[in-house]
A = this chain, B = another copy of it.
Amino acid sequence: MTTSQKNSRPCSIADALAVVGEKYALLVLREVFFGVHRFDAIARNVGAPRDILTARLRRLVDAGVLEKVLYNERPARYEYRATEAGQELRPVLLMLMRWGDRHLADVPPTVWRHSCGSDLDPVITCRACGDEVHRRDVTPRFQVEGWSAEGSAH
């Protein structure tokens, strides 16, 4: 897998968006992170049509982002929980939320309390040197022949 679409640039961002880029997918994940794990509650909170939610949940389970956990036998009832891979999408939501807070909201509707005691203001740092990453400090290096900044070779 992981062949990026058509004639477009091979890219992990595109691959990731193929999994979580469809409408509601990230909002479903948000609910799971908030502790909401059941179909009806997710549907209500996200505002998604039920058939679409069915499709999204199936896709996320197939992609290994969520897993169904039996919480009641007879009738079989499952809740949706984040896998390890799903948990690793948390930073994406955190940064998206931060951006919305800073640029769209007057008052942040939700705040995350960090264990250090203060409200979380997430920052990206470089694991190697530990410094905060600013945009000037970073340059792309393309690993696939034909795809540089200019785009496809011919």
Contact = CB atoms under 8 A, between A and B. Distances in A.
A15 interface: yes
Interface string A115-146: 11111111111111101010111111111100
A124 B114 CA distance: 12
Sorting the interface of chain A by its residue count into under 10, 10 to 19, 20 to 34 or 35 or more gives 35 or more
Interface of A is mostly: mixed
B147 A109 contact: yes
A68 interface: no
23 contacts: A2-B106, A4-B109, A6-B47, A9-B45, A10-B109, A11-B109, A12-B96, A12-B98, A12-B109, A13-B97, A14-B100, A15-B100, A15-B105, A16-B97, A41-B151, A88-B102, A108-B143, A112-B141, A114-B133, A116-B128, A119-B128, A122-B127, A123-B125
Given A8-B46, A34-B149, A89-B99, 18 more contacts: A2-B104, A9-B47, A12-B96, A13-B100, A19-B104, A21-B21, A44-B152, A45-B152, A91-B95, A95-B124, A109-B144, A113-B141, A114-B138, A116-B128, A120-B126, A120-B128, A122-B126, A124-B124
Interface of A: 1-2, 4-17, 19, 21, 23, 26-27, 30-31, 33-36, 41, 44-47, 64, 85, 87-129, 131, 133, 135-144, 147, 149-152
